[in-house]
Amino acid sequence: MIPGAEACSLAPVPPAGETSSDAALEQLRRRFPRVAVVHDWLTIPGGSEQVVLQMLEMFPEAELFTSVYDPAPWPAQITERPVHASYLNRIPGAVRHYPKLLPLMNGAFRSFDLSGFDLILSSSHACAKNVRKPPGALHVCYCHTPMRYAWEEGFLEGEPIGRLTRMALPPLLGRLRRQDLAGAAGPDVFVANSRHVAERIARYYGRSAEVVHPPIDVDHFLGLERDPQDFYLVFGRVVPYKRVDLAVAACANLGRPLKVAGDGRAMDSVRAQAGPGVELLGKVSAAERDRLLSGARALLFPGEEDFGIVPVETQAAGTPVIAYGVGGASESVIDGSTGVLFPEQSAAGLAAAIERFEALALTPEQARENARRFGEERFRSELAAVIAHAADARAAAPAVG
């Protein structure tokens, strides 16, 4: 055989009506007939769960494994397949109080018997990657982030933690870091949702990672009609690290109207800070979300995010984004073209960015075109390529012993 002939051989031509990505996925399904998709918990729909849904789209026969499972909020794509919840799911109140079970989750995921599965796809920001891989299986971990509360000092700043709990945190976080690092040795391949997260994986785990940005339903937002009005917008969960307080302070200093759509444990402090120019909308419907995203003067995004789905959805609606220039938003917002990035995470830094934005002439077309590169089909195609490459590399590796 000519050296390199296998690597250079032509892929079969897909049948009429079938794309090359469809053909590649079908090859993967034949190559890996039994697939386990593992996710930290299935309680409240969010961005990481969109990754799970796309994994299930790629492998329709896959089985799901998770620590705690509440079937109520999920579509048939999840509820009509085998979902294996850990023993933690039997604890009264687990669905509601699952964050308190975090110290027990490593053991829960280690308890799963995955023998017989050919491919393990873990979607992990906590312990899902820590599952035990059976001999011969391939484990690809889509890492939303290493456990930020365990590794990053200051991440829990602003959280309502009691004095006794705060005293117990150092040994607890040390234990979580040790478990997290040990679990990071398990996957064959890491996939990060951004370059920012890939850098964290290298820093904390000493592992390299491919970058595949998460799947976003840009088509829906591309279809919205841009109708700019005189208000700025914060959209999403109102929790301390999102720094909604900076948006409130910046708009108050400039005298700009602000709407805050969302709810969360930091809402009381935001409400106490809010002046007459701030409208707190709470949770909104999908229709109201669309109206806000397409009508805002710009989205304000002052927190450091692993990636950040809302800025992409906002750009797909034709609306600019003003974002803190550290984290995933720096990879999805083009400074001076689809929005403004600011370097200092402060009210003054955000206020200066707003003033800079107001001097620019940005077009909806620029934002929409930028958002198109983050679609769902692109995600499936890129993740499939990573899995195929990992399987090929393993097959080509010399046998040990």
Is the four-CA dihedral 291, 338, 340, 146 of positive or negative sign? positive
- 3 within some domain: no
- 401 within some domain: no
Per residue, the 3-state secondary structure of 298-358, as one string, reads EEEECCCCCCCHHHHHHHHCCCCEEEECCCCHHHHCCECCCEEEECCCCHHHHHHHHHHHH
| Cα 118 → chain centroid | 25
* Same-domain status, 222 and 291: yes
Q: What's this model's pTM, rounded to 2 decimal places?
A: 0.85
CATH code at position 51: 3.40.50
- 142 within some domain: yes
CA distance 149 to 155: 6
* Same-domain status, 310 and 173: no
| Cα 46 → chain centroid | 8
CA distance 146 to 306: 10
* Same-domain status, 63 and 196: yes
- As for how many domains the chain has, the answer is 2
- 15 within some domain: no
- 14 within some domain: no
* Same-domain status, 243 and 148: no
Q: Residue 383 sits in which domain range?
A: 20-215+376-395
The number of CA neighbours under 13 Å toward the Cβ of 252 is 14
Query: Between β-strands 119-124 and 83-85, what pairing exists: parallel, antiparallel or unpaired?
Result: unpaired
Query: For each successive 10 residues of the chain (401 residues), what is the average pLDDT?
Result: 28 44 90 97 91 97 98 95 97 93 95 97 97 96 89 59 63 87 96 96 97 96 96 94 96 97 91 94 96 98 94 98 95 98 97 98 97 96 96 83 54
The pLDDT score that the predictor gives to residue 47 is 85
Query: Between β-strands 278-282 and 210-211, what pairing exists: parallel, antiparallel or unpaired?
Result: unpaired
DSSP string, 127-172: SGGGSPPPTT-EEEEEES-S-HHHH-TTTTTTS---HHHHHHHHHH
Which two tokens mark 324? 């803190």
- 161 within some domain: yes
- 192 within some domain: yes
* Same-domain status, 237 and 211: no
* Same-domain status, 251 and 342: yes
Q: Which long-range contacts (CB under 8 A, 24 or more apart) does 395-398 make?
A: none
- 298 within some domain: yes
* Same-domain status, 202 and 349: no
* Same-domain status, 201 and 302: no
* Same-domain status, 205 and 242: no
Which two tokens mark 253? 């200093």
Residue 64's DSSP bridge partners are 37, 83
* Same-domain status, 238 and 360: yes
* Same-domain status, 41 and 150: yes
The pLDDT score that the predictor gives to residue 163 is 64
CA distance 161 to 167: 10
| Cα 49 → chain centroid | 8
Q: Which long-range contacts (CB under 8 A, 24 or more apart) does 135-138 make?
A: 138/32, 138/188, 138/189, 138/387, 138/390, 138/391, 138/394
* Same-domain status, 380 and 367: no
CATH code at position 300: 3.40.50.2000
